Amino acid sequence: MRVSMDIELKDVPGQMLLALQPLSEYKANLITVVHHHQKRTPRKTVPVKLILETRPESIETIKAKLEENGIRVVRVGEHRFRESINVVLIGHVVHTGIQDTIDEIDRTGFAEVVDLSLSMPGINMLSSALMKIDAVGKEDLQKALAILKEVSTKKDLLMVLPIDIQA
Amino acid sequence: MKTVYCSIHGFGAIGQGVAEVLLRKKEYLESLGLEVKVVAVVDSKGATVNPEGVDLADCLARKRTAGTVALESISGVEIIQSVDHDLVIETTPTNIRTGGVGLQNMLAAFQTGKDVITSNKGPLTLKYRELMETAKAAGSHFRFEATVGGSMPIINLANEVLAGNKIKSIKGILNGTCNYILTRMLEERASYNDILAESMQLGIAETDPTYDVEGIDTACKLVILANAIFGLDVTYNDVDVTGITKVTPEALEMAYERGHVIKLIGEVSKERIHVAPRLVPINHPLAVGGTLNVASVETELAGEITVTGKGAGPIETASAILSDLIAIYGN
Ligand SMILES: NC(=O)c1ccc[n+]([C@@H]2O[C@H](COP(=O)([O-])OP(=O)(O)OC[C@H]3O[C@@H](n4cnc5c(N)ncnc54)[C@H](OP(=O)(O)O)[C@@H]3O)[C@@H](O)[C@H]2O)c1
């Protein structure tokens, strides 16, 4: 099960390690860490969002372990993708490195490429890809699309967006 | 009976369509109390002029047989300045770089207090504000329904029929050539170049298709909508434009398998003017095929209203010109 966990770290060195150690101990698979370096809570702690894949029964133990390490766990919730869209990319999709593009979106933690169809009719011909992207919320989806747009411009790909999306 | 004296500038597909429609609708116009007399018909070679009214059937026949209506070599602007009449019907070729002869005709018309009805996008794309101000100062009517979407009512729909509603956005397919190409590419699973060639053979695409397929034509129409409906003051350079030349049959097919078609969509609101290929759900009101045009108007009170129709064709486009004529002089 995919879980998002909002935690707060004290603003002293070594805190991140204390946060990650219970995860590996309980074999949770860490997907993303969104670390707000600049932000501070009113308690002067640093807010961090973890997204991890783990067995449901481990969640409570991990949470307890984190708190034992002095880390405040503000919120734990199932990490659900509520938004989903299809995007078409046309151009030299493959040899400009589609995997990079996918990784870049997946790394955000709030959006993920969940399906990809590729068609490469021949050398020197334009390839086409249809990508399905899931995201946690509407804003996250827009952020993922912004990444995709930047990549498309850089790689000279035509990006075809759904009509109801703000292009 | 009110007599409207007018001149027709440009006697190609649309100019001739106007002449035919005026002949066909003579009795109907009379029933509205209107008699339309054409004092001059102008093409690139010269003009036929008769202050009492030329014989339109004769002009059409002469154009067909001799290739021109010209009996004297006098320019459109000279006619506008020297022959007394009320209305200039402007159907010369679109030129978006200089405005072409159309711009000169329109300005001359306003300067001599005449009304203008046009299908020519060029001058409106380039000099909207100046034309509007000149027309207003002269007390002239200026109508251009035929410039966007051919027969499909959009400008008059938004400004008149939906009066009182704030228009939030307009989205649609405003170029029949692009719609035809994308529709056929999917049907035949054929490449862009193959279908472009087919479209040229059928006379759907011009020999230089750039203006259509690069999205320029759609962008120009959005500029007219932005200025005329959204009260903006924009030109072509304010539009973000991507055409259809990169679209592949594979992309169309993959999209179709997931319930979508790809269409060249123009979109205008106060915030943005944008042309690009977009994924449109198959059952969406904008998912029309062939050479059709379509537009959805998002209104404040009336919700979303969608119109579709033929975006080109002589008689269809002349129908929009006729409706403008009746709007000015009927009653
Ligand atoms: N075709 C459509 O379905 C459609 C739809 C909506 C809007 N429009 C617009 O309507 C306008 C006319 O289109 P069209 O299809 O009728 O074009 P067209 O068939 O090429 O006709 C253009 C006409 O203008 C004449 N002309 C060219 N230069 C001239 C000049 N300097 N002075 C006077 N006349 C001149 C041409 O003369 P010659 O006959 O001697 O060559 C021709 O008669 C264009 O602005 C177009 O964008 C067209």
Q: Delineate the domains of chain A, giving CATH numbers in brackets.
A: 2-78 (3.30.70.260), 83-160 (3.30.70.260)
Q: Measured in Å, how far apart are chain A's first and last C-alpha atoms?
A: 33
Nearest to A130 among B255, B265, B284 (CB): B255
**Least confident interval from A43-52, B17-26, B271-280:** A43-52
| B296 and B318 together in one domain | no
| Structure confidence at residue A36 (pLDDT) | 73
Q: Tens digit of pLDDT for each residue in B147-178?
A: 999 889 999 999 989 888 899 999 999 999 99
What's the CA gap between B109 and B103, in Å, rounded?
Answer: 10
**Pairwise CB contact (< 8 Å): A91 & B247:** no
Mean pLDDT of A12-21: 88
| Structure confidence at residue B218 (pLDDT) | 97
B45 is catalytic: no
For ligand 1, say whether the CB of B146 is within 6 Å of any of its atoms.
yes
| B279 and B184 together in one domain | yes
For ligand 1, say whether the CB of B93 is within 6 Å of any of its atoms.
yes
Per-residue pLDDT band for A124 (boundaries 50, 70, 90) equals confident
Q: Please, what is the average pLDDT of chain B?
A: 96
pLDDT at B331 over 80: no
How wide is the angle at C-alpha B279 spanned by C-alphas B273 and B280, nearest 5°?
95
For ligand 1, say whether the CB of B100 is within 6 Å of any of its atoms.
no
CB B173 within 8 A of CB B264: yes
| B74 and B195 together in one domain | no
Ligand 1: centre distance to CA B16 (Å): 10
Q: What total number of domains does chain B contain?
A: 2
| B127 and B195 together in one domain | no
| B14 and B139 together in one domain | yes
| B144 and B162 together in one domain | no
To test the pocket of ligand 1, the residue of B11, B148, B221 to mutate (highest count of ligand atoms within 8 Å of its CB) is B11
**Least confident interval from A24-28, A85-89, B80-84:** A24-28
CB A121 within 8 A of CB A90: no
CATH number of the domain within which B190 lies: 3.30.360.10
| Structure confidence at residue B150 (pLDDT) | 85
Mean pLDDT of B266-286: 97
Supply the residue whose CA is at minimum distance from atom 47 of ligand 1.
B94
Per-residue pLDDT band for B180 (boundaries 50, 70, 90) equals very high
| Structure confidence at residue A79 (pLDDT) | 75
**Range with top average pLDDT, A42-56, A110-124, B290-304:** B290-304
Mean pLDDT of B278-288: 97
Enter the tokens of residue A119: 């068609």
CA B129 to chain centre: 18
Nearest to B286 among A91, A117, A163 (CB): A163
| B74 and B209 together in one domain | no
Per-residue pLDDT band for A93 (boundaries 50, 70, 90) equals confident
pLDDT at B62 over 80: yes
Q: Tens digit of pLDDT for each residue in B187-246?
A: 999 999 999 999 999 999 988 999 999 999 999 999 999 999 999 999 999 999 999 999
| B178 and B302 together in one domain | yes
Ligand 1: centre distance to CA B278 (Å): 31
Instruction: For residue B48, count other CB atoms closer than 10 A to its CB.
Output: 25
| B76 and B169 together in one domain | no
| Structure confidence at residue B253 (pLDDT) | 97
Q: Percent of chain B having pLDDT more than 90?
A: 94
| B291 and B184 together in one domain | yes
| B58 and B163 together in one domain | no
Mean pLDDT of B250-273: 97
Mean pLDDT of B92-105: 96
pTM of the model: 0.86
CATH number of the domain within which B75 lies: 3.40.50.720
pLDDT at A101 over 90: no
Q: How far is B95 from chain A (nearest CA, A)?
A: 28
Q: Write the single-letter amino acid at B263.
A: K
> Which segments of chain B are extended strands (E)?
2-9, 34-43, 46-49, 87-90, 115-118, 142-143, 167-173, 240-241, 260-269, 273-281, 292-299, 304-310
**Residue of chain B minimizing CA distance to A156:** B246
For ligand 1, say whether the CB of B91 is within 6 Å of any of its atoms.
yes
Q: Percent of chain A having pLDDT more than 70?
A: 99
Q: Measured in Å, how far apart are chain B's first and last C-alpha atoms?
A: 10
In ligand 1, which atom is closest to the CA atom of B316?
3
Ligand 1: centre distance to CA B26 (Å): 23
Q: Which domain holds residue B253?
A: 156-309
| Structure confidence at residue A37 (pLDDT) | 73
Of B221, B246, B263, B270, the active-site residue reads B221
| Structure confidence at residue A38 (pLDDT) | 79
| Structure confidence at residue B30 (pLDDT) | 96
Q: Tens digit of pLDDT for each residue in A31-88?
A: 888 877 778 888 889 999 888 888 888 899 999 999 999 999 998 888 777 889 999 9
| B70 and B138 together in one domain | yes
